[in-house]
Amino acid sequence: MTPSKRETEIWILLNRAYRQAHREMEAELRTAGLPGLRWYDVLWGIEMAGTGGVRAFELTRNLLFEQSNLSRILARMAKQGLVRETVYEHDRRGKVLHLTADGAALRRQMWEIYGPAIKRHMVALAEAEDVQAFLDTLQEEGGGPFP
């Protein structure tokens, strides 16, 4: 079974649009002297976990970007005072990640660029009449609600 011509076209368009938007967003963050989207994703994921923090393996379930080097990113963030680790009370070998005030401030600073970039890239799609059906289909394919 192979995809139809239309299905293949949609797949290609989705991937090209993602890559282009991602490149532009990364460039805007870099120009502002800020870390890339992977760092934003990690900071946001830890922040969304709340005051109780989150374990690294739990964090990876909700990240938007592939984090093949998450341990290195977390080590760099901890060294810069953006994230702190505490011992997991149920298993002393485990660590729980918490966002520091500096980490939250950096995430907000990054959002000042990332948020408007999302708006620029998504406004036309969000205003399309059939967008809800499109989003419902993406949600079903993605295995659950959007984060």
- The pLDDT value given to residue 49: 92
**CA 11 to CA 137: how far, in whole Å?**
13
More confident residue, 104 or 9: 104
Tell me the pairing of strands 95-99 and 83-87: antiparallel
Q: Which two tokens stand for residue 25?
A: 């967003």
> pLDDT digit string (tens) for 35-44?
999 999 999 9
Residue with tokens 């659950």: 144
| Beta-carbon-side half-sphere exposure of residue 9 (alpha carbons within 13 Å) | 3
Instruction: Kindly tell me if the per-residue pLDDT of 90 is higher than 70.
Output: no
21: amino acid identity, one letter: A
pLDDT for the residue numbered 87: 79
Report the C-alpha dihedral over residues 17, 21, 26, 27, rounded to 10 degrees: 110
What's the pLDDT score for residue 146? 43
